Amino acid sequence: MAEKRKAPESDTKNRILDAAERLYVEHGVDGVSLRPVTAAARANLAAVNYHFGSRDNLLRAMLERRLDPLNAARDRLLDACEARWGERLACEHMLAALFVPALHQAREAGESGYERMRFLGRVYSDASPLVTGLLKSRYDATQRRFLAGFARSLPELALPDLKLRLSFVMKAVAGVVAGSGLREVLVAFGRDGTDIPTASSEIAILASFGNLMAGALMAPARTDARLRIFDDVFSLSGPNTDRPEGVAASLQMDAAE
């Protein structure tokens, strides 16, 4: 009788990582516990301990498997952008260098492309200490490099304001990408009706997201006219005594000038 061939260790390890990734997409860090992972991966607890040693190590390996090549690709693309445009590098170039590698990674995943994008969306909208700590410690150099590039392309923004806007934009986009309705969003943004992001639809997808992101990054911080509109609506919601005194006083001063 022929001896039954054992699955290579790498197969078992990848099945465990794939299972952890699927659970993470749907349930976040708290949903990635060892028993559901082993059940989904058709593996045993000993295999998880052998390959990773602990749940936290499994989570880190799951994240690094996707984020290491993603951030390396971002650095390479930013190198190419800087070589081509130099000081003329615009906000839109920075956004493209940030998101094009993610679109490529999704396309290379084929039928799993949407889930790959949802995974990345989940990562960048995750506030858990393990994920935020890994992003800061392992990919800090790439993050600082992109922050410096955005600062050069948007010199009118003070650094604290730029950081706040980038955080807002990244969290907003990541929240959309992590959602179960991502397929519908990408088909609508891609404009070509395809079910899987393709090279032909990636530019349309990027341009649609990019227009929204660039608008948020480049919008005026605040104008008196806009402030008055919000203050007028606020005044309709209750007695005038409920209005913030500082806002009302500043508007009165502006009107008197």
Give the tens place of pLDDT for each residue, 53-65: 999 999 999 999 9
Q: Is the pLDDT of residue 182 over 50?
A: yes
151 and 46 inside one domain:
no
User: Do residues 189 and 204 make contact, with C-beta atoms less than 8 angstroms apart?
Assistant: yes
79 and 192 inside one domain:
yes
83 and 133 inside one domain:
yes
The structural domain count of the chain equals 2
152 and 74 inside one domain:
yes
pLDDT of residue 223: 78
Tokens (6 digits) for 169: 């934009």
Tokens (6 digits) for 159: 């650094």
Q: Is the pLDDT of residue 66 over 50?
A: yes
106 and 14 inside one domain:
no
Domain span holding position 146: 67-218
CATH number of the domain to which 32 belongs: 1.10.10.60
Q: Is residue 247 part of a domain?
A: no
pLDDT category at 199 given cuts 50, 70, 90 is low
CATH number of the domain to which 111 belongs: 1.10.357.10
CA angle (33, 37, 4) in 5-degree steps:
150
Q: Is residue 47 part of a domain?
A: yes
93 and 146 inside one domain:
yes
pLDDT of residue 4: 44
